[in-house]
Structure 1
Amino acid sequence: MTDVNAPHDSSDSRHPEHAPADHPRVSPRKVGVVVANLGTPDATDYWSMRRYLNEFLSDKRVVDYPDWKWQPLLQLIILSRRPFSSGEAYRGIWNTEKNESPLLTITRDQTRKLADGLEALYGDQVVVDFCMRYGNPSTDSVLRRMQAQGCDRILFFPLYPQYASPTTATANDQAFRTLMKLKWQPAFRTVPAYFDEPAYLDALAASVEEGYAAAETPPEVLVASYHGVPKRYLMEGDPYHCQCQKTTRLLKERLGWRDEAIVTAFQSKFGPEEWVGPATVEHVAELARRGHKHIAVVSPAFSADCVETLEEIEEEIKESFLAAGGERFTYIPCLNDRDDHIAALLAVIRRELSGWC
């Protein structure tokens, strides 16, 4: 895998045969695979958080209100306050050893394992790297570096099992913006949603079974908590809500469970609109009021643990359940760099590289 902090080594580039003496040197042809995740601030201080949140919340895929209505509110009110609370949340989960967010650490680890797997399959024909939609390493810098390394075909893989406009689509948008600026565009493919891939479901089910086996007593209900979206998105044709519901159903079938053993909920509501529901933070409290003393929560929409899982679920949502009378709360980590998860991602990549490798 390319070191994302290292400059490109052009020692393998060469002068094209039969070309004029002043022709630029070119690198041997390769295939690039880029995995993309949401993003991360560079640090937890006010200005680092403000830069990150400004980029994130100015994205029309995330908040699609008109600029005249949204930007004054964002710049004058939200970004004067939210960087403090968001910074505090990130400080609670920050990887202090590497001075970076867990999402960055985990995505790098995933990419290294994917690179090892693809090298075993294709040798040095495939270059593997990762980028973030917001923050660093930027999509633009990674795609340009890949092209400089000779990648004339690039497979772009947003690490979101379910498709959504504010995740998959905006990651693709950012990649396309770079392509629009290149003199010589590489051939380009994007990976579709993979929530119903058998290997992914097997890995997800295995993580749940392991989480239940490790608990002192089995949880009474599993809450599959997905990041929420405004209900309007569903009405306008975004398939995310439906794909989340199907993910829960397929997971339940994989586990061989009865219907009432697993429920679907949505977290991270933002703004005044009606969002798809039920809201996780409210639903876990309702489960406690119904007499459930032990629940587990899993996050099938996240490929890597991040602030929404390590802080929101493990603190806010857990506290909501315990405050309503619950007694035991089990969080089942994201699939992260588990070997079965990496194997599932490799299976998707191999299929999408068909005809290229």
Structure 2
Amino acid sequence: MESTEYAIIGAGLAGAATAWHLAARGHDVALLERATPANDAGSSHGSARIFRYAYPEEFYTGLVQEAKAGWDELARLSGKQLISPTGAVDYGAIRQPDRLAAVLAARGIDHELLTAEEANRRWPQIAFDTPVLWHPDAGVIDAHESVASMVNQAVTHGAELHNNWAVASISGSTGHYLLTSEDGMTLRAANVIIAAGGWLPQLLESLPLPSSFLAGMPPIEVRQEQAYHFPYVNGTEGGPPWPTFIHKREGWQAYGLPGGRDASFRGQKVAEYNGGKILPSAANQDGQINPENRRRVIEYVEQYLPGLIPEPYAETTCLFTNTPTEDFIMDRAEGITILSPCSGHGAKFAPLIGQIAADLATGTGSVPDQFRLAAQTRHAAAVTY
């Protein structure tokens, strides 16, 4: 029977980043993926994820700055442009652009605060309804290529990638775990790292973890999100450049970004944040678009995005896996590490998450207290980033 020092479950952004960092440090790593890395059933597929620095608190903005060093290193190693610069605009009655600007100023990040009129002159394709924060160093992450690059780095350093290895059960104890796949394959591992995203809820039920540790796990909400691609009024050429955007007003949050390869470079990807249905687990997703959600997003485009034709030419679903506070979960008990950097905003931190997870799994570094289960239980009120 094959054995390994570290078995990582899930080859999305978090799992691939962790495999890269552990293998680069000389550890024996097996990366187990239920399908193939960055497949469409997970949270790390496609070419369009927002990279931004704007957060309402310095904690996350500082982490983005740390993560950027990892992105730069991965780009150097892979020879690929993984983040395309676009800049970002944040606005809306409860987005608090002035608060975001204060955080960016404290961290030394280039930005501007604009009136709605100034922003409308600069980006006439967007109908701004409040003052606007602009920070030019934001951009769009190519998630699929990022995963591929990190997996390639892991394999280059000796990691073993196991595709079509869907974990059904994990048994044993520290140093002696037995992983069994849904089709009967087995693997022994001294340590296990769970980076399974929306499949985490169903795996938790069978993990050999202390009851006290599991009791501290916050409720995990898996959503089947929906996104729509709208064509540019002026086609792909001739119009003003589009930044990424987050528009947050009472009862509604929308986001958008250039769709890139996912949209054949023809338009913008627009979605209602956390507008999808709640699932027991990723295993229950059906890929079906909710007609009411489609109607809401089309109406939003009609009102606020005059630079787009309000008729989606493509649509898709993806998974968000949320904690009540929207903080990540990064914690360890015995030989099992739980890694769930999700809540819809984890992609931009991927290289740093891999570094922190490797530190946690090997006992060589610390994890921000905010990501520990004890902190999750102390902060019951939801916070939206």
1 or 2, which has the higher helix percentage?
1
Q: Which has the higher strand share?
A: 2
Q: Which has the higher contact order (CA 8 A, sep 6+)?
A: 2
Identify whether the pair has TM-score above 0.5, normalized to the shorter chain: no
TM-score (norm 2): 0.25
